[in-house]
Chains A and B, each alone.
Chain A
Amino acid sequence: MSEGSVIDQDEALRTRAAAGLRSVADALVQPALTLAFALILGIVLIVAIGENPVAAYHAFLFGSFDNALDFGNLLAKATPLITTGMCVVIAFRGGAFNIGGEGQMYLGAFWGAVAGFTFVSLPGPLLILAIIVVAAVAGGIWAAIAGALKAFWEVDEVVSTLLMNYIAMLVTQYFVDNQFRDPTAGAPATTYIASQAWLPGILPPSAVTVGLLIALVIAIATWFLMFRTVWGANVRSAGTNRRFAQAMGVNVRRTLIETMFISGAIAGIGGAIEVMGVEHRFYQGFSPGFGFLGLTAALLGRLNPWGTLGMAFLYAALLNGAAIMQIQTPVPNPLVNILEGIIVVIMTAQARPRLGRLIGRRASAA
């Protein structure tokens, strides 16, 4: 190796380190400003309705950290956002904007539940594994269809995954309205899965379960898969420059379909975690839009696994703080929904140079 190239490498490293630091600062300043703006707006609104902003904010911001119960509930709320967030991150790195996490999660939850009340004779760990595998395959195939439509005929995946969300939810609705309905359940739901597959709580009596650990493993695996394996390098290269990747011998079509499969599989596992940890059955209304919330967490986390993980927890803290504020003070919960909306509306404003470059290509294709 010549001396020149060592110097080049050194300089490249230094530039990259500087850029990295800049991007960390960028990544922190923008959300901080946005949060500050939203919190000030919140104070104005609370004063306007004649309540005490100090008490409300104390409950909203610190309530989640007061005791193990509330902290556990925060973690429980973060769990599905982590999986749907990672689902978006993987697909995006492969050049596809998968907004079908909701539908993929519904199918994973449903077929996972079917596995859970069918293979009742399996011992706990094996049954849990079986449910996860079935859920991953169900969500994965659903997303891979959209991947194949894009790979072979350039059907826009934003559109196809959006449409397939509705199809998936109507199909599970059909199953729980007919063949798989538990007649004793008050709502459209299946029968309970075998109790050996119920995920144990880790901070009882809060709602958080071992499912959180599964979600964290998925987050770490996402990072490892995308940034530490040859497959991940190929996916990212196909995602950034299709022609170049093709010239380097990457089978771009196949990679895209595989990427979408993994992305959907993660969403599906997220659904199975909810089934095994929360409802212990498939219940048609189990998701208050986890797919879109996870999508938002991923976009706010700049489509980076760690950023997305952080945003999933932040988002969960907002949702949980709102619930606590509603219980402890007269300030209504919907006030936080307003703030949440404002935060998401303005969060990416001015962040365009960075996020805009990532997403701009997508927006123009849509």
Chain B
Amino acid sequence: MSSLGQLVNADLLGALLLYMTPILLAAIGCVFTQQANILNIAMEGMMLTAAFFSIAVGAATQSVSLAILGAILSAMAMSALFAYVVLVLGADVFVAGIGINLLADGLTVFLLERLYNNEGSYTPSTFPQIWSLNLPPDWSNQPGLGILYHMLNGQTFIVFLALVLVVVSHVVLYRTKIGLHIRATGENPEAVEAAGLNPTTLKILTVMISGACAGLGGAQIAMATLNEFIREMTNGVGFIGLSAEIFGNATPVGSLIASAVFGLANAVADRIQVIPSFNISPDLVLTIPYVVTLVALAFAMMRRRRNRIA
């Protein structure tokens, strides 16, 4: 098999989905907050909190549903704190966001040390298996079905849920009244106020939605493959999701495309390391999505400027 064939195949698509999902969930969360004009620096910390509580609750209860619930509720507790200090107490969104990230790091490491006597990581001895797709093994060699098998077999339900959420959030934002209000909150809060609505309430709503998305994303990071929690295991995924949302122009569909680009870069960077004939550095492959985002942003702004002048 050619080395390109070793790289570009259905397994690559499977890895893409695996890497893309937490980024996509973070990005969807950031779409809502961005539409309400809040730069969601706190996404990273919310996801880290969720990753910890998915493992802690799952190990304690041996229940997948409670693990997922724990992840979502813990991330939403962080987002509630973020919303409260920023939108009620008037704290600076930037400082408070960095604070949430520091707090999440401190809280998870503190609990690791207290509960499991280990500051670095926690691997439960038994952990419930997250619901994932199991396809018949004989699909793997059949034409057509083989691709599906390698791409989808073993993916968690969160992967499929994230894709559904792209459609749901698109519909909510662009086809419902509440979505219209959320978008208006960012663009023209005075108009929202004039219409008898409270922009602050709508902003709090978007932060809570982003917390729920962060919960699912954090659970996917911790439960999809390893079922363990490692200190700082989100490793910038929240920020990458924020970048993907910006790349995707703060729309759900745009974020899906951008997240796929980031997921692809991660999948390629991961896999070329085990294919010796590839002489490309994984570090450089990983820079591609950031460079593409930056260049795309510059071109978009350039075009906007030219149109304005013309």
**Residue pair B92, A352 in contact (C-beta under 8 Å):** yes
Contacts of B236 in A (CB 8 A): 166
State in angstroms the CA–CA spacing of A49 and B106 once bound together.
15
Interface residues in A214-262 (C-beta closer than 8 Å to B): none
Q: How far is the CB of B155 from chain A (nearest CB, A)?
A: 26
Q: Is the CB of B99 within 8 A of A345?
A: yes
**Range of interface residues on chain A?**
35 or more
CA gap between A43 and B82 in the complex, in Å = 23
CB-nearest residue of chain B relative to A97?
B94
Residue A160 lies at the interface, judged by CB distance under 8 Å to chain B:
yes
- Could you tell me the dominant secondary structure of chain B's interface residues? helix
B283 partner residues in chain A, CB cutoff 8 A: 170-171, 173-174, 177
Q: Is the CB of B90 within 8 A of A363?
A: no
B133 within 8 A of A: no
Contact of A348 (CB < 8 Å), options: B96, B105, B110, B119: B96
A178 engages B293 (CB within 8 Å): no
> Is A332 touching B291 in the complex (CB atoms < 8 A)?
no
Instruction: Flag A84-112 by CB within 8 Å of B: 1 or 0 each.
Output: 00000000000001000000000000000
Closest-CB distance, B288 to chain A (whole angstroms): 10
B164 within 8 A of A: no
CB-based contact A154/B85 at 8 Å: no
- The interface bits of chain B over 194-235 (1 if a CB of A lies within 8 angstroms of the residue's CB, else 0) are 000000000000000000000000000000000000000000
Q: Which residues of B contact A156 (CB under 8 A)?
A: 297
**Residues A341 and B281 in contact in the complex (CB < 8 Å), given A163-B290, A170-B286:** no
Bound: A335/B111 CA distance, A: 9
Interface residues on B, range: 35 or more
CB contact under 8 A between A344 and B287, given known A158-B39, A335-B110, A359-B94: no
Residues of B within 8 A of A344 (CB): 95-96, 98-99, 102-103
Could you count the A-B residue pairs with CB atoms below 8 Å apart for me: how many are there? Answer: 156
- Chain B 105-118: CB-based contact to A (< 8 A → 1; otherwise 0): 11101101110000
Look across to chain A and name the residue whose beta carbon is closest to the beta carbon of B239.
Answer: A162
- Contact check, B94 vs A341: say whether CB atoms are below 8 A apart: no
* Residue A180 is within 8 A (CB to CB) of chain B in the complex: no
Decide if A164 is an interface residue (CB 8 Å cutoff): yes
* Cβ of A232 to closest chain B Cβ, rounded Å: 24
A69 part of interface (Cβ distance < 8 Å): no
Please tell me if the beta carbons of B94 and A299 are within 8 angstroms of each other in the complex. yes
User: Which listed residue, A160, A296, A299, A300, touches B294 by the CB 8 Å rule?
Assistant: A160
Contact A295/B109 with A154-B305, A163-B290 known, Cβ cut-off 8 Å: no
Main secondary structure on chain A at its contact with chain B? helix
Which of B37, B39, B81, B294 lies in contact with A345, CB distance below 8 A? B81
B302 touches A346 (CB 8 A): no
B-chain residues with CB within 8 Å of residue A359 when the two chains form the complex? 92, 94
| B246 contacts chain A at the CB level, 8 A cutoff | yes
Which residues 258-285 of B sit at the A interface, judged by CB distance below 8 A? 281, 283-284
Query: Contact between A177 and B281 (Cβ–Cβ < 8 Å)?
Result: yes
> Which of chain A's residues have a CB closer than 8 A to the CB of B94?
97, 299, 359, 363
Q: Specify which of A49, A177, A363, A366 is in contact with B114 (CB 8 Å cutoff).
A: A49
Are B85 and A332 within 8 A (Cβ)?
A: no
Q: Which residues of A contact B102 (CB under 8 A)?
A: 337, 340-341, 344
Q: Would you give the shortest CB distance from A262 to chain B, in whole angstroms?
A: 22
Complex Cα gap A345–B284 (Å): 35
Given A338-B106, A345-B96, A345-B99, 20 extra CB contacts under 8 A: A149-B294, A153-B302, A155-B294, A155-B301, A160-B294, A174-B281, A177-B283, A178-B281, A292-B101, A332-B110, A332-B113, A341-B102, A341-B105, A342-B103, A345-B81, A349-B90, A356-B92, A359-B92, A359-B94, A363-B37
List 3 tightest A-B contacts by C-beta distance, closest first: A341-B103, A337-B106, A344-B99
**Residues of B near any A CB (own CB < 8 A):** 37, 39, 81-82, 85, 89-96, 98-107, 109-110, 112-114, 119, 236, 239-240, 242-243, 246, 281, 283-284, 286-287, 290-291, 293-294, 297-298, 301-302, 305
A: which residues have CB within 8 A of B? 49, 97, 149, 153-156, 158-160, 162-164, 166-167, 170-171, 173-174, 177-178, 292, 295-296, 299-300, 332, 334-352, 355-356, 359, 363-364, 366
A-B contact pairs, 9 of them (CB 8 A): A149-B298, A166-B243, A178-B281, A334-B112, A340-B102, A341-B106, A344-B103, A348-B91, A363-B39
